Structures are given as structure tokens and as C-alpha cells.
């Protein structure tokens, strides 16, 4: 799979390339792991936020918001 297919931010792409070039570089591998963990945490928080927002945008009982006519 080509790097552009992964759609990684520039910083991640650079770290991945460096890691692949120097697999034995534990400091670089650690930096990559930290960055990937941070990304996953952000994605998790986004998913939680979207779920909460989705619940808040729906009225109870599946009724439509609005005035009774």
C-alpha cells in the first residue's frame, strides 16, 4: 500500500518513513507510538462527541422538534 493511500498527516508520514528506514531506532519507534496513541485518543474523543451530539439532536420518543399545530 502506497503512503499516499494511507492519507497520513505529513508528520506521521515522515515518522513512518524514518521508522521503516531504521527499524532498530527505538527512540524513533517510541515517538511514532506516542503519536499514534495520541491520534487514536483524539479519534475516540471525536466519536464520543459525535455520539453525544447525535443523541442531543433527537427529541425523546422519536418525535420531530417543533411547535404543536
pTM above 0.85, yes or no: no
Using alpha carbons, select from 22, 41, 4 the residue that is nearest to residue 12.
Answer: 4
25 or 5: which carries more pLDDT confidence?
25
Average pLDDT, rounded, for the chain: 76
Q: What is the pLDDT of residue 1?
A: 42
45, 47, 63 from 41: Cα distances, Å: 6, 10, 34
- The answer to whether residues 3 and 17 touch, using CB atoms and an 8 Å cutoff, is yes
Q: What is the pLDDT of residue 25?
A: 77
Residues 52-64, mean pLDDT to the nearest whole number: 71
Within a 13 Å sphere around the CA of 27, how many CA atoms are in the beta-carbon half? 0
Q: What is the pLDDT of residue 2?
A: 45
Amino acid at each position: 500500500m502506497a503512503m499516499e493511500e494511507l492519507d497520513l498527516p505529513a508528520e506521521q508520514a515522515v515518522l513512518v518513513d524514518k521508522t521503516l528506514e531504521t527499524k532498530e531506532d527505538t527512540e524513533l519507534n517510541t515517538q511514532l507510538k506516542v503519536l499514534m496513541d495520541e491520534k487514536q485518543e483524539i479519534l475516540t474523543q471525536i466519536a464520543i462527541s459525535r455520539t453525544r451530539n447525535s443523541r442531543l439532536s433527537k427529541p425523546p420518543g422519536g418525535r420531530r422538534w417543533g411547535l404543536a399545530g
